[in-house]
């Protein structure tokens, strides 16, 4: 990998509560750490950012997961999280790819965020890769290219399914159903059985269905970045 490779921007939610339920949430830890590990093991630089900047709320804080534990205990991961820049301060053209981690918090602050939409457009239109996993594709729902078309229109992708949302009893809690919203904007949504790994690549769009897909999204992203050298 070239040393002058632009970094991958890894974005997480800043939203801490599942709507009116009052249940704490945030970004799902393994959905950030597993792709991050694959990227950094491949020598690809990364930047962790969040919607509002600063310390993002963590969901799925599981240190029995060896990748989570390694980042938490053996690296500067805690400092990186505490000091995340807000997306508003970043320029998508500075990155080779953007990756949106999931977690239920994303359902409240990814879709409508103008800076997330802008960065997606800047990355994609500068020849970079747009990627997301689980609820992370919430950032893609309303993202448009400069021609006014939805990025997801006509594209194959994976995201947290309506069936999975139902199984975690989130259907009545989330502000919209992610699978449905993506389909409404023309996405060709591909569904695997609940909790099965499912990674879909369509050109420079790489998406995964659920936590089990996080590692695979990282692998696909590294492969795509190597091809783009």
Summarised one tens digit per residue, pLDDT across range 78-121 is 999 999 999 999 999 999 999 999 999 999 999 999 999 999 99
Query: What domain range is 105 assigned to?
Result: 8-227
Task: Find the mean pLDDT for residues 184-211.
Answer: 98
Beta strands in 13-134 (DSSP E): 27-28, 46-50, 58-59, 97-100, 129-133
Q: What confidence score (pLDDT) does residue 103 get? A: 98
Let me know if residue 131 belongs to a domain.
Answer: yes
Mean pLDDT for 19-32 is 97
Q: What are phi and psi of 32, to 5 degrees?
A: -95, -50
165 is catalytic: yes
Tell me the mean pLDDT in the region 193-197: 98
pTM of the model: 0.98
174: domain CATH number is 3.40.50.880
In total, how many domains does the chain have?
1
User: Quick check: is 1 in a domain?
Assistant: no
Q: Given the residues 31, 134, 179, 189, select the one marked as catalytic.
A: 134
With b meaning 16 or more CB within 10 Å and e meaning fewer, what string describes 176-215?
Answer: ebbbebbeebebebbebebeebbbbbbebbbbbbbbbbbb
10 is known as an active-site residue: no
How does residue 228 score in pLDDT terms, banded at 50, 70 and 90? confident
Residue 45 lies in a domain: yes
In this prediction, residue 4 carries a pLDDT of 74
pLDDT of residue 1: 40
Find the catalytic residue in 165, 179, 189, 215: 165
Q: Is 215 an annotated catalytic residue?
A: no
Active-site residue identified among 135, 164, 189, 215 = 135
For residue 134, being part of any structural domain is answered with yes
19 pLDDT more than 70: yes
* Residue 2: predicted pLDDT: 43
3-state DSSP assignment of residue 23: coil
Q: Which residues contact 214 (CB under 8 A, 6 or more apart)?
A: 30, 31, 34, 35, 101, 133, 134, 208
Res 221: pLDDT = 98
Cβ–Cβ contacts within 10 Å for residue 50, how many?
25
2 lies in a domain? no
Domain membership flag for residue 147: yes
**What pLDDT score does 229 carry?**
63
Share of the chain above pLDDT 90, in %: 97
* Tokens encoding 20: 């009116």
The answer as to whether 125 is a domain residue is yes
């Amino acid at each position: 990998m070239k040393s002058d490779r632009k970094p991958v921007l890894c974005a997480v939610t800043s939203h801490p509560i599942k709507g009116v339920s009052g249940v704490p949430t945030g970004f799902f830890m393994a959905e950030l750490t597993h792709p991050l590990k694959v990227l950094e093991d491949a020598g690809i630089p990364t930047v962790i950012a969040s919607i509002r900047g600063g310390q993002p709320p963590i969901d799925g804080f599981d240190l029995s997961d060896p990748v989570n534990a390694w980042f938490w205990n053996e690296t500067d991961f805690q400092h990186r999280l505490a000091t995340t820049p807000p997306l508003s301060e970043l320029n998508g053209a500075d990155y080779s790819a953007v990756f949106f981690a999931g977690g239920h918090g994303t359902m409240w602050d990814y879709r409508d965020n103008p800076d997330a939409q802008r960065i997606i457009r800047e990355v994609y239109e500068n020849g970079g890769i747009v990627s997301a996993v689980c609820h992370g594709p919430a950032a893609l729902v309303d993202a448009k290219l400069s021609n006014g078309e939805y990025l997801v229109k006509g594209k194959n992708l994976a995201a947290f399914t309506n069936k999975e949302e139902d199984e975690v009893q989130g259907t009545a809690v989330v502000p919209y159903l992610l699978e449905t919203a993506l389909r409404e904007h023309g996405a060709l949504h591909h569904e695997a059985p609940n909790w099965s790994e499912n990674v879909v690549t369509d050109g420079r769009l790489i998406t995964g269905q659920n936590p089990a897909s996080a590692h695979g999204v990282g692998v696909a992203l590294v492969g795509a970045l190597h091809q783009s050298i």
